[in-house]
Amino acid sequence: MFTKYGVPTTFLRTTFYFDAFINGMPPARGEDGRLTISMPMADRLLSGIASEDIGRTAFAILKRGTEFIGETVSIAGDHLTGKEYAAGLSDVLGEEVVYQPPTWEDYRAFPFPLAIEFSNMFQFYAEDADRFTGDRDLAKVRALNPSLQSFATWLEAHKDELKSAQN
């Protein structure tokens, strides 16, 4: 509608939030006692971003005035596989976190609100991972937001919250 009516608009496209590992999708202890994360991404890259970086980057775009009007800016702080997310979580939590990628259909059947919507999101990210991650040039995002956090820097800043989420 904004475009249709000539409203000067910049479109901001974000992605999966690292913060989901604290609230919503923290590593879960399985029946075997091991911590796991489950995302139906198989071995595809998943773009992620710290939620606070969304606001910082949006503010940086606004400070540039009219420079980005009519543009779409796609942002992320990192592009990692499920195994790489699990490895980072393992380092911070001090115990192995295993990545278990269910199928999209299995994920849709998980017993939590929005499981279907989350599975659809992950399916979209996985099926078009090359374009999706390619649209999110980390160097360009970092040029807008020099304090942009990678997953590793976000983990370090939130390690106490991550550990508390396990208790």
- Count CA atoms closer than 13 A to 2's CA, side-chain side: 8
Pairing of strands 28-29, 72-74: unpaired
Q: Is residue 165 scored above 90 in pLDDT?
A: no
pLDDT at 167 over 70: no
Relative to beta strand 46-49, strand 11-13 is unpaired
For 16, phi then psi, to 5°, come to -50, 135
CB 40 within 8 A of CB 109: no
Q: Given a cut of 90, is residue 20 above it in pLDDT?
A: yes
Q: What is the model's pLDDT at position 24? A: 87
Residue 59 φ/ψ, nearest 5 degrees:
-60, -40
Query: Residue 76: what pLDDT?
Result: 98
Q: What is the mean pLDDT of residues 75-85?
A: 98
Structure confidence at residue 48 as a pLDDT band (50, 70, 90): very high
Q: What is the mean pLDDT of residues 30-41?
A: 94
Query: Quick one: pLDDT at residue 127?
Result: 96
153 against 31, higher pLDDT: 153
Q: How far apart are the C-alpha atoms of 100 and 107, rounded to whole Å?
A: 11
pLDDT average, residue stretch 45-71: 97
State the average pLDDT over residues 160-165. 91
DSSP class per residue in 42-110: TT--EEEE-HHHHHHHHHHHHHTTTTTTT-EEE--SEEE-HHHHHHHHHHHHTS-EEE----HHHHHTS
pLDDT, residue 27, reads 96
- Give the H or E element holding residue 28: strand 28-29
- Assign 3-state DSSP to the chain and report helix, strand, coil percentages, each to 5: 45, 15, 40
